[in-house]
Structure 1
């Protein structure tokens, strides 16, 4: 552990240079050579996030998982690079260490917790801001809206980051966009890592227009994922105040998925033709809140896969037990229909409490019943100090028939056919 933390410190020093430690001497040398300060406005940041996770899954023959892991993040934001106004940089590294390692992949006889010991440069990018536009090149976190299609997966100790060449901007009042080419993916585990040739990069296009402040925001998007699929969609969302502190929110989203525009790491293009939609309404007043959401994942329709969101922050959706994770990442072959009802209370003194009930069903009957299962999720979160927060949550998945990610006609081949219980306790310190 000590060696890993020292290596993270070295990574931060690469970004901050001798300015962080020795003051004027080395800075003067850089100025003599370059005529400008090499870097300026340096702001380091740290995070320590210990977490305990318990996993019990029935009928697998594996022991219950007990994982105590700690995330150590060291990063630096550099406000000015080479004296160029508007040119900035970020460098960040994360180490994940297992203090109690009774979990797979650390020890295969236990249930799985997707926080293996690992050390990685998670962000390393340059950004140039000009007028209302910013140009970005390098590895960084990419989160779009609520992470339903592309997210950081920051719940896991090692988050997801993407290598991008991108431009984002606000050309006119109310309109913003992101256009990015993705040349690499660094997933939450190394087995998800992927590289693409520059002429075959996944393309991300996201355009938003604020029609009415807060009340109506429209989105159009195209996520062209090499080797996987093309996704085209639209979304409308907003919040409306009804007076007396009552606010109503809504969301409507539709997407169509087709064959990928390009292939790089696969022998043949997948054959995809399916769709998706999501509807959500919510209300809040005096600290209380509640939401009802319906999500539909289209079935494969006899082709290679159902609708999928492989770059999403999947833990945020479809139940915290992560039983639906494989289907959302690879496609529910027979589709999936999900109801999620949640309610809670949030107060700066008390903290945040929430409960959610989720029901999952296949769109088409695989031959052994449409009911996949149901789940109850519980959460309590509290900010203890300015820099320290606490979180406790639990997930209880009650299995029924399960689901398939490829064609299957008997329950034995299905995923999600076993009950799952998970608990988490977490502290998060940021500086």
Structure 2
């Protein structure tokens, strides 16, 4: 049945709405806590070179149950349903509508997370199962919360806090559940040998010092197989009045490994100073992902939408590398009547290659977030990529409403 995902979503939503008050009351005395997240989004894409513009109207219901801790044990199970609402005027990566731009939100009903946690003492925590994993700013490892379907890992993780201010995290993942969903040929990476090593040191007053090693052997995507070792420092310093200096510095080296047929050693560099003064935060940055003309540094498990522009032109780093020189301004807006916590954001990117004098293009973006209540929020977002020698001119617009219970 063509409308089966939508009908299932509506049925699940109605059922949850009917029982949610009772579940919320029961949760006060019961060790099981229910929760739900409903998000509607309209995404419009105008991409030069394609005969049609995309109009993607989708809704997602995510609901789950989380247990309280009992003798160090706790668990979570979470499902989600994603459905198209309206015409099928976009390429969701599985419907074959290649005349339209890609909006990677295919309809589906699936298990998003299911894990068990064991915490025998407060300094040790072990977790196994399907899980959303986010490290630092999600540049290397992230759950891609922007898309309707999360990126999750089937993994086992061990977190240790041996002394105050030190956190050690090791994870082993054998399956990557990507945002494209299980019906897509690129939706699941199976039989992986992925090792994630991550360590944080609270080095106040300087900031947080992070060291990491990400070793990815991905047979289903051999060009994404790599070993990356790096270090990151992020912190802030108080200036006069309410002003603060922000800074983030990061360096990493990535090499081929496992099933990757290419041979390379490539560098990553981030320099991001910023300043906060009152309600305004201004950041400038240089991010450099090196390429040698044949291979380039890649971040296949990252929350990629958060980096290198919102039009997503650089989800895969070009072979000649990527140098992103950018500015980002965030503003906390004053309250209007009962609306408090609204914020606006403006960003600009200038994209070039790291090898040769190649000007890829530029992009600017604007976003407005407005909370309606404590549970309901709205987002309006626009970005425009102006191509010079890479990809094509593209405009994207989003409107979203999200409710969390």
Range of TM-score over shorter length: 0.7 to 0.9
1:285 has 2:277 as partner: yes
Alignment of 1:17-28 (within 5 A): none
1:309 has 2:304 as partner: no
1:387 has 2:375 as partner: yes
2-side partners of 1:348 and 1:192: how far apart? Answer: 42
1-side partners of 2:75 and 2:262: how far apart? Answer: 38
2-side partners of 1:342 and 1:335: how far apart? Answer: 22
List structure 1 segments (4+ residues) > 3 angstroms apart after TM superposition: 4-11
Q: What's the counterpart of residue 169 of structure 2?
A: 178
Alignment partner for residue 3 of structure 1, among 3, 8, 12? 8
Contact 2:311 2:396 in 1 (8 A): yes
Contact 2:292 2:355 in 1 (8 A): no
Q: Deviations over 1:248-271 (max 9, x none)?
A: 1101100101122x34xxxx6442
Q: What's the counterpart of residue 241 of structure 1?
A: 238
1:271 has 2:288 as partner: no
Q: In structure 1, the residue corresponding to 2:161 is in which secondary structure?
A: strand
2-side partners of 1:394 and 1:188: how far apart? Answer: 21
Q: What's the counterpart of residue 404 of structure 2?
A: 430
Q: Deviations over 1:174-208 (max 9, x none)?
A: 100110000111000032311226xxx20000001
Q: Deviations over 1:296-333 (max 9, x none)?
A: 0111365xx21010000000000001111122xxxx21
Q: What's the counterpart of residue 116 of structure 2?
A: 126
Q: In structure 2, the residue corresponding to 1:171 is in which secondary structure?
A: coil
How far residue 130 of structure 1 moved from its aligned partner, in angstroms, is 2.1
2-side partners of 1:55 and 1:174: how far apart? Answer: 45
Q: Deviations over 1:119-164 (max 9, x none)?
A: 2101000001122111000001000011100101000001111111
Aligned residues between the structures = 374
TM-score norm. by structure 1 comes to: 0.82
Deviates more, 1:96-105 or 1:152-161: 96-105
Q: What's the counterpart of residue 339 of structure 2?
A: none
How far residue 345 of structure 1 moved from its aligned partner, in angstroms, is 1.1
Contact 1:8 1:94 in 2 (8 A): no
Residues 185 and 428 of structure 1: is their aligned pair in 2 closer, same or farther, counting only changes over 3 Å? same
How far residue 6 of structure 1 moved from its aligned partner, in angstroms, is 4.3
1:116 has 2:106 as partner: yes
Alignment partner for residue 159 of structure 1, among 139, 143, 150? 150
How far residue 7 of structure 1 moved from its aligned partner, in angstroms, is 6.0
1:398 has 2:398 as partner: no
Contact 1:9 1:74 in 2 (8 A): no
RMSD (Å) for aligned C-alpha atoms:
2.3
Q: In structure 1, the residue corresponding to 2:299 is in which secondary structure?
A: coil
2-side partners of 1:272 and 1:127: how far apart? Answer: 38
Alignment partner for residue 203 of structure 2, among 190, 196, 211? 211
1-side partners of 2:131 and 2:10: how far apart? Answer: 21
Contact 2:78 2:112 in 1 (8 A): yes
Q: In structure 2, the residue corresponding to 1:172 is in which secondary structure?
A: coil
2-side partners of 1:20 and 1:376: how far apart? Answer: 44
Instruction: List runs of 5+ in structure 1 lacking aligned partners.
Output: 24-38, 403-415
Q: What's the counterpart of residue 190 of structure 2?
A: 195
How far residue 109 of structure 1 moved from its aligned partner, in angstroms, is 2.8
How far residue 169 of structure 1 moved from its aligned partner, in angstroms, is 2.1
Q: What's the counterpart of residue 57 of structure 1?
A: 47
1-side partners of 2:203 and 2:149: how far apart? Answer: 37
Contact 1:158 1:188 in 2 (8 A): yes
How far residue 286 of structure 1 moved from its aligned partner, in angstroms, is 1.2
1-side partners of 2:265 and 2:124: how far apart? Answer: 35
Q: What's the counterpart of residue 136 of structure 2?
A: 145
TM-score norm. by structure 2 comes to: 0.87
Q: Deviations over 1:54-93 (max 9, x none)?
A: 0001122x3100111001101111114xxx4110001001
Instruction: List runs of 5+ in structure 2 lacking aligned partners.
Output: 1-5, 219-224, 337-341
